[in-house]
A and B are shown apart, each in its own frame.
Chain A
């Protein structure tokens, strides 16, 4: 099972919006609305930001939103803040009843 494809890095200025893409296949992203997104700061455990493509757990800022079109899911961070600088990973449930993570994206706040 190959990792989902994410851009290695995305950057933006404070207050701007950025979007991170996550491209999979017909065996995962395209076939299931089970894409989730995680934020990981250095030295910390991942934190769930979005589940089932568009849902935000309680306590997660509404500046984070998710969407999907075909085999590509996206995470948008609006009103970018310094604290958003972190690594972000997508994951999808697959047709083999497993999960596959994305390659990860480093977000830099300029």
Chain B
């Protein structure tokens, strides 16, 4: 079965750090661009970052540049995002998605992992 499963979410204080993981299966992870997309409670979708299949290219939305780092381990079929200096506005459901296999679009999504930044 083609799927991605996110994990690592939780409650963290402002200024704190968290690392999210995404385990992929059922497709060739090592040839797939991957993205993180988030959705604040009751709000719309926001693209956060993506990474090329070999890790040589990474792109970020301005609001997380310098704070978030996307990475991957193709041997483990896993995607990560290290989130530092977390802010209240980073509170959201974080989705992992396959990027670029169907044109420039996200065709495989997980169920998300919730990150809550609060004191």
In whole angstroms, what is the CA distance A40 to B109 when docked? 11
* CB within 8 Å of B: which A50-71 residues: 51-52, 55, 57
CB 8 Å contact bits of A26-58 with B (1 = contact, 0 = none): 000000101010101000011110011001010
Which chain A positions have C-beta within 8 A of B102? 48, 51, 55, 57
Chain B positions near chain A (C-beta within 8 angstroms): 35, 37, 44-47, 50, 57, 59-62, 95, 102-107, 109-112
Q: Report 29 cross-chain contacts, Cβ distance below 8 Å, ordered by A residue.
A: A1-B62, A32-B104, A34-B103, A34-B104, A38-B45, A38-B106, A45-B95, A45-B110, A46-B37, A46-B95, A48-B102, A48-B105, A48-B106, A52-B103, A52-B105, A57-B102, A57-B107, A89-B44, A89-B45, A91-B47, A98-B47, A98-B59, A98-B61, A101-B37, A101-B44, A101-B46, A101-B47, A103-B44, A104-B45
